[in-house]
Amino acid sequence: MTVWKRKKLSFGFVSTRFAGTDGVSLETQKWVDVLESKGCNVCYMAGELDTDPAVSHLVPKAFFQHPDILEVQQLLFIKKRRSRDCTQLIHALKEELRDELDRFYQKFKFDVLVVQNALAIPVNIPLGLALTEFIIETGIPTIAHHHDFFWERQRFHSFAAMDYLKSAFPPDQPNIQHVVINSLAGMELARRTGASWTLVPNIMDFKILPQEIDDFNCDLRTDIGLDDDSFMVLQPTRLVSRKGIESSIELISRLGRKNCALIIPHEAGDEGLSYRQRVEDYAQFMGVDLRLIADRIGKERRIGDDGRKQYTLWDIYPHADLVSYPSIYEGYGNAFVEAIYFRKPVLVNRYQIFEADIEPKGFQVISFDGYITTETVRKVKESINDPNRLGEMAETNYMLGWRYLSYEMLEEKFEALLSNIYGS
């Protein structure tokens, strides 16, 4: 008998935010979908929420962009100096957040705590410390889902914060099961902490057919200023430097196609706005039509008071002629999984995780190593001019996605994790 059938469980999800279309929020919703399909209850605590208020506990200081948290980040990771006042501020914030975790638990009485990235990437040091204390003091079974670690980002290398990073990002406690999204991260976690880990890559629900062009999104191209016959290259990533957007711009410039545009549906996020200006300047210099449409993308479809449509990310994919994914570094690759789900041809920079965890499974993509070459341009031209070949690639990728990156795979992983807690 499975754990699902023996015990109806409830799960408390905690992160800095569960809102919008960032990778952590999107993956969390997929986990919730699987849990709810098994009859489990879920609740949420974060600093920014667009979840059901009835099952939500909003704590503004859990958000990584709260002014107090930004002050801590400035001192620890930019000035890289920690005074006594700074230490006292961190501990005061930690105590506030620790109290909020108690309120969250008392309010919903969940069985399992699920921490989404808040014990991996140190964008909110006090929250990580508070979570660590809560987990140790309550002994609650915890699944810590780590999307990216501090040692993977140069900006978090600071001796002023190292004692906090070693103790809470992540903590190694017997009641915590660590989940990573790629094997290299798992091996590095084990090397640094001795902790065991479970691999759960990013997923999609492949048994449900992807959204198509319909009455709502049929005019999306003209709505964002493109002609109906424009060749649309979609790079479904945030505007941050590690996403390698310059490579997409260079590719479009070298393709030499008329009416070709690069569409970016996400904003800059937590890494500043200077790179956005860099991308805009570079696109202008290269003569590439760049459309930044984050203001038109939301979690749900709606028509605003001004009469403008707000689309979802799923509305854009059906219109894309090519998905470009030239990231320099990725924890796994949400955009890659989405592209194969929508059966789109994909241009991929062979980033380290792609080589280690994705490429060996046989996915068929147009790949390059680090920078665009004449050979890259030739392969793209040949592929987009051969509809039969594109169809074969898309179908192969979709079936491989269903095998390796599906909700069914996540159910099996959950069964193993919960068996470790409650027995098989």
Q: What is the pLDDT of residue 4?
A: 64
- The DSSP code for 218 is T
- What are the residue ranges spanned by the domains of the chain? 3-203+406-422, 220-404
Q: At what angle do helices 125-138 and 84-108 cross, to 10 degrees?
A: 50
In order of 265, 289, 371, the CA distances from 281 in angstroms are 18, 11, 19
322 contacts 380 by C-beta, under 8 angstroms = yes
Q: What is the pLDDT of residue 1?
A: 47
| Positive/negative CA dihedral, 30, 35, 38, 42 | negative
Bridge pairing between strands 142-146 and 322-325: unpaired
Q: What is the pLDDT of residue 34?
A: 95
* Domain formed by 220-404, architecture: 3-Layer(aba) Sandwich (3.40)
Q: What is the pLDDT of residue 20?
A: 81
Is residue 198 helix, strand or coil? Answer: strand
Would you say how long the chain is, in residues?
424
Cα 220 from Cα 214, distance rounded (Å): 10
Listed as ranges, residues in the chain with pLDDT below 50 are 1
The domain 3-203+406-422 having CATH identifier 3.30.470.10: the answer here is no
| Secondary structure element (H or E) that encloses residue 157, with its range | none
Alpha helices in 40-145 (DSSP H): 67-73, 84-108, 125-138
Q: What is the pLDDT of residue 269?
A: 59
Which residues lie across from 231 on neighbouring strands? 260
Cα 372 from Cα 418, distance rounded (Å): 45
